[in-house]
Chain A
Amino acid sequence: MPARIGVVTFPGSLDDRDAARAVGLAGGEAVALWHADPSLHGVDAVVLPGGFSYGDYLRCGAIARFAPVMRAVVEQARAGMPVLGICNGFQILCEAHLLPGALIRNDVRRFVCRDQRLRIESVHTDWTRAYGDGDGEEIVVPVKNGEGGYVADRRTLDELEAAGRVVVRYVGGNPNGSYQDIAGICDETGAIVGLMPHPEHAVDPLTGPTTDGLGFFTSILRQTVGAGT
């Protein structure tokens, strides 16, 4: 039985169908989860997709954090369930304090959509172990956000770097002013990963710049299948 990966739809989620498609292409079964439904329906892992949950008029992810579904996500994530937050999902994970730091308006003060070169800094997470043998593989996936500048206090940044919790870093140009070119980070266990770039948009050569993003989804399937047997 393929691993069941939940994809949450908040009002205003946009890349939920793309995330579900990516799960399917990687060989998993995508399970649609609804913001108002507090049950995770027994999924093995959860993806919080990109978009503008509830319009994001207050602060990105600030409202979504209080959705009924998020109570279950936070609870089970704290118990070890893998969670991937992409773009708005990353913002929600930070607002929910599952990941440290915050995402602020891009330093260029504009929305930026482009094909972005990234370095996988850590393969020791549930969502990146399919990449390369050693750390440092470079990939190209789309980045698209208006508020993607990752910020945190000095001590947090030092801790993240020292513990190898910077998962993905921008190379060849920082699109949004993120501190230390940080594109994505993880929690202490490597089960919870958040990143601004969109791996789900780089899973098919027909519609994406590369298929480099697929590794995030094959990683979790390897992880959950391994855990389940």
Chain B
Amino acid sequence: MSDTVEYAAKTPDEPQPWADLGLTESEYARIRDILGRRPTASELAMYSVMWSEHCSYKSSKVHLRQFAEKAPATDRLLAGIGENAGVVDVGGGWAVTFKIESHNHPSYVEPYQGAATGVGGIVRDILAMGARPVAVLDALRFGPADAPDTARVLPGVVAGIGGYGNCLGLPTIGGEVVFDPCYAGNPLVNVLCVGVVRSDHVQRARADGVGNQVVLFGAKTGRDGIGGVSVLASAAFTDTDASKPTKRPSVQVGDPFAEKVLIECCLQLYERGLVAGIQDLGGAGLSCALTELASAGTGGMRIYLDRVPLREASMTPEEVLASESQERMCAVVASSTVDDFMAVCAKWDVLATVLGEVTDTGRVEVRWHGEHVVDVPPRTVAHSGPVYDRPRRRPSDLDRLRASTPDILLRPSTPDELRETLLRLVASPNLASKRWVTDQYDRYVQGNTVLAQPEDGGVVRIDEATGRGVAVSTDGNGRYCRLDPYAGAQLALAEAYRNVASTGATPVAVTNCLNFGSPEDPEVMWQFGETVRGLADACASLGTPVTGGNVSFYNASGDAAIHPTPIVGVLGLLDDVARRTPIEFPASGGTVALLGETREELGGSEWAHAVHGHLGGLPPAVDLDRERALAEVLVAGSRQRLLSAAHDLSEGGLAQAVVESCLRGGVGARITLPGGLAPFVALFAESAARAVVVVPDAAAERRVADLCAERGLPFTRLGEVSPGTGVLEFTGLFTVPLEELRVAHESTLPALFG
């Protein structure tokens, strides 16, 4: 017999495993208050997963409000924070939806499936908005490149992303791979998905209309992933704790083929107008989908849970409610169109089951073989969870860290030393070519990829008739954030914004994935608060609203929290993708110029990290007005066809950008470093708001210089592209053959990972 509502009312003192499910004593007491009795086992399962940190945002909510409160005015947003994903009107009747999510802990426990289901989960979020998923980007962080465990985690994560995304037919168009000891026991796997939908076909997650049918469709429900959000994603993480059972069963198992047919099936259902409301099943499974749909709609639902098709017949109702089995969706369908709905599912061989119906009782009632196992007000599960304003304290080591500036580090000064430093940096794991990773991802499928990694931003065409398209980039620098989370968050946004503008696209909207240590650590919570404040302020200043995102807490290697690592994704618009600007120095030649100003900024730099293993001082200064001016010049330069190449400057500075632009097309350059700065600083400083561009002729050069002058943005002629020479020359300093650069740049990852 199941633990029924009636039985629970009669047995108030029956002990319940609330602590094992991740609830605190006061949270459990609150559930009893809400219900006026003890919860049934099924209800307890629902509350525990939905009130987990991962689902309820209980520690972050008080801060995240700033994204809405400070959001710049825009008429582009068709759906914003709180939906499955933000939706941006991109004109011409088209809308784009995009969002980034983490799957960090599962990817450490079981790299292949953890990363694969990370892709699957965010793709279903996009699908639930009514959109066809068209591209993914992956922001990845690993421990030291040469650490033994990185050799286990990285190949598994990359194969998992590829295995799932390639099989779905989704091009991977960008992302990042960064190594740092702080991620040794806790890699970050953040996946961003972009989808395209006609702006009048956006779907909503709501269960409206009494008598409408609630349909579960997609894969069968199994025991995989139970407690994924509560046990795995919302608790401190100690893999070495031998006394506890392994957490591997909490990782879901992916079936990309099932997801591929689910995508095609859903798109056909939308096209035929057969869906009144829809929600994907991800974290917290049915518990989440049912209560969220009901909360947003008429308010009630009656569900016959024993109708759920199971992989294992012995599953209990609480397991069915908490299962995170993948490749499932839940739709609300008008009774009159259920047969049509089922016919489309049958065409795609997608299993579909009517679970119950929408009611106006204000309760979600769940029956299990005739017994009443759940009777809850859905909002109390989905939205009225606990909210904590956790204590914050500035990290005690921050002043010491900032005082240890990179001024103390030995710098290269002779031409030979500079040359050697350049070669060493382009071969360092963080700056080396990531082809070993990205060649495992399909970037061509769907036939709309206009730019993909290693370009500054990925660009996909969304309308073949007009050439309309979007650009997307993800960025984030944990070292900068460790030194100054407020500035670091703004630098992450600035870099993604700059990357998108470098392609010629106008940045319009932001998504973010905030990866942090334990919220119960006041120093982590201070970092979190500063990060959100910095990001919200910068979004207001740049006019790019946050449309949605994800928070991942409890990321730590052993006792040490990871660097605060906000990953920021920026979406930009291109009215015609044919005018996109690549990073490649063109074989037709041209003048190379630097836009922006270089200062002696080396705190948290790649040079300090890779050469000296040093982290200290302050990150580069933030100047958002400058960033905006630079973006305006890059976009205008693309519109007026004045730029034959553009590449943003970030980690590794000017040297890295020039090397990448040379190697992209195998075309050399002759560069004269500007006077007034030590060559070392000119080459390796990481000042923000800079880009290197190529202008094809003197007329274009004058016009770009004018665009800069009008905005007070420094324009510095650096030299010229030198086709046919096969070398990169820094006049008066040193020359490096491109072949030598290529070998240095491309050998690192293959040597490490095979």
Contact = CB atoms under 8 A, between A and B. Distances in A.
A15 B578 contact: no
Contacts of A217: none
A30 to B, nearest CB: 13
Given A201-B444, A207-B449, A12 B261 contact: yes
Contact of A110 (B159, B461, B577): B159
Given A11-B257, A12-B260, A55-B255, A201 B447 contact: yes
Given A14-B169, A17-B447, A52-B167, A113 B257 contact: no
A54 B260 CA distance: 10
A110 B257 contact: no
A21 interface: yes
Contacts of A50: 445
A206 B440 CA distance: 22
Given A111-B163, A142-B444, A201-B444, A11 B349 contact: yes
A207 B167 contact: no
Contacts of A6: none
Most buried by A among B167, B168, B258: B167
B440 A52 contact: no
Interface in B438-473: 438-450, 461
A112 interface: yes
B461 A111 contact: no
B162 interface: yes
Contacts of A21: 447
B94 interface: no
B461 A52 contact: no
A62 B742 CA distance: 41
B169 A51 contact: yes
Contacts of B300: none
A121 interface: no
B459 to A, nearest CB: 10
Contacts of A14: 167-169, 260, 445
A15 B576 CA distance: 24
B664 to A, nearest CB: 12
A165 interface: no
A164 interface: no
A177 interface: no
A208 B257 contact: no
Given A52-B257, A113-B440, A18 B445 contact: yes
A78 interface: no
A55 B447 contact: no
A213 to B, nearest CB: 11
Given A12-B261, A17-B446, A208-B444, A111 B255 contact: no
A206 B450 contact: yes
B555 interface: no
Interface string B152-163: 000000010011
Interface in A192-213: 198, 200-201, 204, 206-208
Contact of B439 (A52, A113, A207): A113
A142 B449 CA distance: 13
Interface string A121-150: 000000000000000000000101010000
A18 B448 CA distance: 9
B277 interface: no
Contacts of B449: 207
A113 B444 CA distance: 9
B167 A11 contact: no
Contacts of A15: 169, 445, 447
Contacts of A207: 444, 447-450, 461
A57 B257 contact: yes
A206 to B, nearest CB: 6
Interface in A41-99: 50-52, 54-57
Given A112-B439, A113-B439, A144 B444 contact: yes
Interface in A165-208: 198, 200-201, 204, 206-208
Contact of A114 (B258, B260, B439): B439
B439 A11 contact: no
Contact of B447 (A18, A54, A111, A112): A18
A206 B578 contact: yes
B269 to A, nearest CB: 16
Interface in A102-118: 110-114
B256 interface: yes
Q: How large is the interface on B (under 10, 10 to 19, 20 to 34, 35 or more residues)?
A: 20 to 34
B166 to A, nearest CB: 6
A12 B447 contact: no
Contacts of B163: 111, 146
A144 B442 contact: yes
Of listed B260, B447, B578, residue having the most chain A CB within 10 A: B447
Contacts of B438: 113
Contacts of B444: 18, 113, 142, 144, 198, 201, 207-208
A201 B349 CA distance: 29
Interface string A1-27: 000000000011011011001000000
A18 B167 contact: no
B526 interface: no
Contacts of A200: 447
Contacts of A204: 447
Interface in B222-276: 255-258, 260-261, 264
Nearest to A16: B169
Contacts of A52: 166-167, 256-257, 260
B261 A11 contact: yes
A56 B438 CA distance: 23
B18 interface: no
B348 interface: yes
Contacts of A201: 444, 447
A161 B260 CA distance: 39
B441 A113 contact: yes
Contacts of B443: 113
A113 B169 contact: no
B260 A111 contact: no
A12 B446 contact: no
Contacts of A112: 439-440
Contacts of B255: 55
A111 B442 CA distance: 9
Nearest to B440: A111
A76 B447 CA distance: 29
A114 B159 CA distance: 16
A7 B163 CA distance: 25
B449 to A, nearest CB: 6
A130 to B, nearest CB: 20
B473 to A, nearest CB: 19
A16 to B, nearest CB: 9
A188 B439 CA distance: 35
A55 B256 contact: yes
Contacts of A206: 450, 461, 577-578
Nearest to A36: B347
Contacts of A114: 439
Contacts of B168: 14
Contacts of B450: 206-207
Interface of B: 159, 162-163, 166-169, 255-258, 260-261, 264, 348-349, 438-450, 461, 577-578
Which 10 A-B pairs give the minimum distances between C-beta atoms? A55-B257, A14-B169, A18-B447, A201-B444, A52-B167, A111-B440, A111-B162, A142-B444, A144-B442, A11-B261
13 contacts: A14-B167, A14-B169, A17-B446, A18-B445, A50-B445, A52-B167, A52-B257, A55-B260, A111-B442, A144-B442, A144-B444, A204-B447, A207-B447
Given A55-B167, A55-B257, A113-B166, 14 more contacts: A11-B257, A12-B167, A14-B167, A14-B168, A14-B169, A15-B447, A18-B447, A52-B166, A54-B257, A55-B256, A55-B258, A114-B439, A207-B447, A208-B444
